[in-house]
Amino acid sequence: MTVFGMHAPEQAAARPSTAGGASRHIPSLDGIRAISFLLVFVAHCGLEVIPGGLGVTIFFFLSGYLITTLMRSEFDRNGRVSFSDFWLRRALRILPQFYLVLAAAYGSAVLLGQFHLLQWHILLAQALHVTNYWIIFEGYEGFPNFTGTVVYWSLAVEEHFYVIFPFLYVWMRRRNMAGRQQAVLLLSLCGVIVAWRCWLVLGLHVATDRTYMASDTRIDSILFGCVLAVYRNPVRDRVPGSESLWRILVVPLAVLALLLTLFVRAEWFRETLRYSLQGMALIPLFTAAIRFPGWFVFRWLNWRPVAFLGVLSYSLYLVHFGAIFIVRDALHGAAPLLTGVLAFSGALVVAWILYRFVERPCAVLRRRLVD
């Protein structure tokens, strides 16, 4: 997930103490990453019990929450956020695997004799993280089958967001805005984006891809995660309400709201209000999963195999569509379940290799350079 970021959130999540120090783990987040990826993967296999778009939205939210929590910790500790260190961390976390998988996709197309079908301006769009707007204005034609456009459009949204957001966050902190004030400002921006989506859909009747993929219409999904990071962050702040209140009332209402966004199938609703309602529902759900990881409903998110799947989620996200295409092409239209099992197995192997030989060495380098 990002993303989905789908998303490529930092692996080592910081849980700062009240003194501003940091440990290296936030409960349940790796498990949430795993679920987000599985929602997307299952949908792409043709087993879309729950819309895969929810997985992308969760990736966006998680990325916003985690990155902003890390910036908050850095500002509290140092009185500043180093933009160069921020972008270097992002580059080392995202780009090595990104470009390696992209190169492998185009290399595979060449080996399969599809060189004449490749369009280098599309490769440039992918490499420069503008795939989402390319699809919106030019369509899907010309993308190699191995790449999977869903991977690149969602990562483009995140990359665009994180070019701008650090400046906004530091501006809020330098103005000594309290957490509540920061949250109000970010929620106001979410409201502006909702209004913009409503005008595009109900006023201009734009195509679905325009609102589903564009950075200017989807970054509110990331902003909702940022809201949780700056105000009543479950790893930084006091969260009001007793455990029984959260168990009996808050979490069930959030789950109900999330389910309602899935049951209402009208396209106008999806492209105007759905993403925003999902973002608001995810705030209490993330809070509870982090604050009460021992609950039965959240305990499995911290089960070691599930958490490790979350650790691999970025690499899995990059390679899963290619794995699905290879299986479908080899088996000539196999049942979705068989396709899913074989593609998942292959993607898991490739993702572990990327994690072992690319991601972990880059994480070591990242710590040496910027920690």
Condensed to tens digits (0 to 9), the pLDDT of residues 117-162 reads 678 899 999 999 999 999 999 998 888 766 666 689 999 999 999 9
In a domain, 257, yes or no: yes
Pairing of strands 15-16, 22-23: antiparallel
Average pLDDT value over all residues in the chain: 90
Strand partners for 22: 16
Residue type, 353: I
In a domain, 136, yes or no: yes
CA angle in degrees (0–180, nearest 5) for 237-193-86: 50
The predicted model gives 18-27 an average pLDDT of 56
| Confidence check: pLDDT of 300 > 90 | yes
Q: 80 is in which domain, residue-wise? A: 15-370
Q: How confident is the model at residue 20 (pLDDT cuts 50, 70, 90)?
A: very low
Q: Which residue has the higher pLDDT, 18 or 225?
A: 225
Predicted TM-score (pTM) of this structure = 0.92
> Exposed e or buried b for every residue in 18-51, given b needs 16+ CB within 10 A?
eeeebeeebbbbbbbbbbbbbbbbbbbbeeeeeb
Query: Is-contact 289 27, C-beta < 8 A?
Result: yes
Query: Is-contact 228 238, C-beta < 8 A?
Result: no
| Confidence check: pLDDT of 21 > 80 | no
Give me 87's structure tokens: 């972008």
Mutual orientation of helices 149-174 and 131-138 as an angle, nearest 10°?
120
Number of Cβ within a 10 Å radius of residue 336: 16
pLDDT 10s digits, 272-297: 999 999 999 999 999 999 999 999 99
Distances (CA, A) of 234 to 28, 45, 51: 12, 35, 28
Task: Classify residue 124 by burial, with Cβ atoms within 10 Å: 0-12, 13-18, 19+.
Answer: exposed
Mutual orientation of helices 83-111 and 360-370 as an angle, nearest 10°?
160
Given CA atoms 25, 29, 31, 37 in this order, what sign does their dihedral have? negative
Nearest to 71 by CA among 168, 185, 181: 168
Dist. CA 103–CA 126, nearest whole Å? 11
The share of the chain scoring above pLDDT 90, in percent, equals: 76
Least confident of 41-50, 62-71, 124-133, 149-158: 41-50
Q: Which residue has the higher pLDDT, 4 or 168?
A: 168
Query: Is-contact 204 258, C-beta < 8 A?
Result: no
DSSP 294: T
In a domain, 146, yes or no: yes
In a domain, 7, yes or no: no
In a domain, 47, yes or no: yes
The predicted model gives 81-101 an average pLDDT of 95
| Confidence check: pLDDT of 349 > 80 | yes
Write the CB contacts of 33 (distance below 8 Å, at least 6 apart in sequence). 1, 9, 59, 62, 309, 310, 311, 313
| Confidence check: pLDDT of 330 > 60 | yes
The predicted model gives 12-33 an average pLDDT of 63
Mutual orientation of helices 53-78 and 275-291 as an angle, nearest 10°?
60
50: three-class secondary structure by DSSP:
coil
Nearest to 59 by CA among 282, 293, 359, 208: 282
Ramachandran bin of 3, using left for φ above 0, alpha for ψ from -120 to 50, beta for the remaining angles: left
Give me 173's structure tokens: 């902190």
Query: Is-contact 54 262, C-beta < 8 A?
Result: yes
CA angle in degrees (0–180, nearest 5) for 81-87-93: 120
Least confident of 136-150, 188-202, 305-319: 136-150
Q: What is the model's pLDDT at position 5?
A: 38
In a domain, 2, yes or no: no
Residue type, 96: P
Q: What is the model's pLDDT at position 335?
A: 87
DSSP 117: G
Q: What is the model's pLDDT at position 2?
A: 39
In a domain, 4, yes or no: no
Query: Is-contact 102 126, C-beta < 8 A?
Result: yes
Q: Which range scores top for mean pLDDT: 103-117, 299-313, 315-329? A: 299-313
Q: How many domains does the chain have?
A: 1
Tell the residue number behind the tokens 């790893």, with chain if given: 235
Task: Classify residue 85 by burial, with Cβ atoms within 10 Å: 0-12, 13-18, 19+.
Answer: middle
In a domain, 10, yes or no: no
The share of the chain scoring above pLDDT 70, in percent, equals: 90
Q: What is the model's pLDDT at position 52?
A: 84
Q: What is the model's pLDDT at position 77?
A: 95
Q: Which residue has the higher pLDDT, 37 or 49?
A: 37
pLDDT 10s digits, 234-286: 999 999 999 999 999 999 999 999 999 999 989 899 999 999 999 999 999 99
Query: Is-contact 326 28, C-beta < 8 A?
Result: no
Q: What is the model's pLDDT at position 117?
A: 67
| Confidence check: pLDDT of 17 > 80 | no
Least confident of 102-111, 112-121, 149-158, 208-217: 112-121
Q: How confident is the model at residue 15 (pLDDT cuts 50, 70, 90)?
A: very low
Query: Is-contact 278 268, C-beta < 8 A?
Result: no
Q: What is the model's pLDDT at position 146?
A: 67
